[in-house]
């Protein structure tokens, strides 16, 4: 990837180390809630890692208004603090640079906070938080373990959210479900439809929220030596395959939808197979001569279930859209109502 330092070898080593650490962690090494011991007495259940839901954007803007900023040179994150000096800011910058990353690092803003600022911006029990809309992270200025979780692991978790937020293909969905290669491999869409996972649910189903599991898996990939036991849904526990997908998502981020064009003459019915290796939005734009009658259908092969259909308007155009969920391929059928009709179909998929 652009600007990456020996990323493939770095991530290959990290992948093996992350899995070894997960396997080696003793059963009692952690609890389902990393901060449970420290905050059992509080009326609100503690969460170790925040994200878009608990982060208070207005409060964070007020906190950061008078902050001192580290001048960025090259592909560096913008880091600021109102209470910590150059050494603390440089420490956070070094941690961020050490993570597997690409050009999205330069899009990040990080604020180095006091304990009070962290509570105000992220919630009373968060170690750090991330605001996708602003590409902003809030982290502690004190580099120490808290309830067994090192600060650099918390930073890695939040940077996982930043990786997902930078995904250009269905970015909004990626924040709630993880990056596309990982989410497709982990069958996040199918499991969510079955009520096994709950994308974006930061309340009762925090531990079954795939956006949090993705961020945690990214942190395990980058900081396996922290030996943090896996507390999220066992359906998303890191494996060699899933960590390899994260490795691919970081090393080769997708640049946008894959587009193709199909030009043909329909005399009766024509069918074209569309490969859909990733879940996400599929769109078809059909164009023919005005006044010609065509019907377009998008369906799943084998089952034959039609997932989208449209007839051409008087100007000869038709639009189809579908959010693919687990199908490795789709079929586009174009039917001419009467005489042969020349048409062009533009197909976009993840």
Specify the pLDDT at position 32.
24
pLDDT tens string 155-184: 999 999 999 988 776 545 655 788 989 999
In this chain, the answer to whether the domains covering 7-251 and 258-349 adopt an identical fold is no
Q: For 138-159, what is the mean pLDDT?
A: 92
318 pLDDT above the threshold of 90: yes
| Residue found by looking up tokens 């395990």 in the block | 220
Specify the pLDDT at position 254.
82
Alpha-carbon torsion (136, 141, 143, 145), positive or negative: negative
Specify the pLDDT at position 173.
63
Tell me the two tokens of residue 312: 């051409």
Q: Which fold has domain 258-349?
A: Jelly Rolls (2.60.120)
1 pLDDT above the threshold of 50: no
CB atoms within 10 A of CB 234: 10
57 pLDDT above the threshold of 80: no
Q: Is 201 helix (H, G, I), strand (E, B) or coil?
A: coil
Q: Which of 103, 101, 121 is nearest to 113 (CA)?
A: 121
43 pLDDT above the threshold of 50: no
The full set of domain ranges for the chain reads 7-251, 258-349
Greater model confidence, 319 or 131: 319
What is the CATH architecture of 7-251?
A: 3-Layer(aba) Sandwich (3.40)
Q: How far apart are CA 290 and CA 33, in angstroms?
A: 62
Contact (CB, 8 A) for 334 and 342: no
Tell me the two tokens of residue 67: 């902050």
Q: Which of 123, 141, 144 is nearest to 83 (CA)?
A: 141
Specify the pLDDT at position 253.
87
Greater model confidence, 35 or 239: 239
Specify the pLDDT at position 119.
86
pLDDT tens string 127-136: 889 888 888 9
pLDDT tens string 87-127: 999 999 999 999 999 999 999 999 999 999 988 888 777 78
């Amino acid at each position: 990837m652009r600007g990456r330092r020996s990323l493939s070898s770095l991530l290959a080593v990290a992948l093996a180390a992350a899995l070894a650490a997960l396997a080696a962690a003793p059963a009692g090494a952690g609890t389902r809630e990393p901060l449970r011991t420290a905050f059992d007495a509080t009326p609100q259940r503690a969460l170790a890692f925040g994200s878009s839901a608990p982060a208070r954007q207005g409060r964070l803007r007020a906190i950061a208004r008078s902050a001192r900023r580290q001048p960025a040179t090259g592909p560096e994150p913008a880091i600021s603090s109102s209470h910590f000096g150059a050494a603390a800011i440089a420490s956070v910058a070094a941690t961020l640079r050490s993570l597997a990353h690409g050009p999205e690092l330069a899009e990040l803003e990080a604020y180095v906070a006091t304990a009070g600022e962290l509570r105000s911006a992220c919630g009373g029990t968060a170690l750090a938080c991330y605001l996708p809309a602003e590409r902003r992270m809030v982290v502690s200025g004190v580099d120490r373990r808290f309830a067994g979780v090192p600060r650099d692991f918390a930073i890695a978790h939040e940077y996982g959210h930043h990786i997902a937020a930078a995904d250009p293909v269905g970015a909004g969905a990626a924040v709630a479900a993880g990056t596309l290669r990982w989410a497709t491999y982990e069958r996040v869409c199918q499991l969510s439809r079955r009520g096994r996972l709950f994308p974006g649910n930061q309340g009762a189903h925090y531990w079954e929220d795939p956006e949090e599991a993705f961020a945690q898996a990214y942190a395990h990939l980058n900081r396996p030596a922290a030996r943090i036991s896996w507390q999220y849904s066992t359906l998303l526990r890191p494996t060699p395959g899933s960590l390899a997908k994260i490795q691919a998502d970081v090393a080769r981020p997708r640049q946008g939808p894959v587009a193709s064009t199909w030009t043909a003459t329909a005399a009766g019915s024509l069918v074209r197979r569309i490969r859909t290796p990733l879940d996400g939005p599929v769109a078809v734009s059909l164009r023919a001569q005005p006044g010609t009658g065509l019907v377009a259908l998008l369906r799943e092969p084998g089952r034959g279930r039609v997932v989208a259909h449209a007839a051409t308007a008087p100007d000869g155009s038709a639009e189809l859209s579908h959010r693919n969920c687990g199908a490795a391929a789709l079929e586009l059928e174009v039917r001419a109502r009467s005489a042969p009709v020349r048409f062009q179909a533009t197909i976009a998929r993840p």
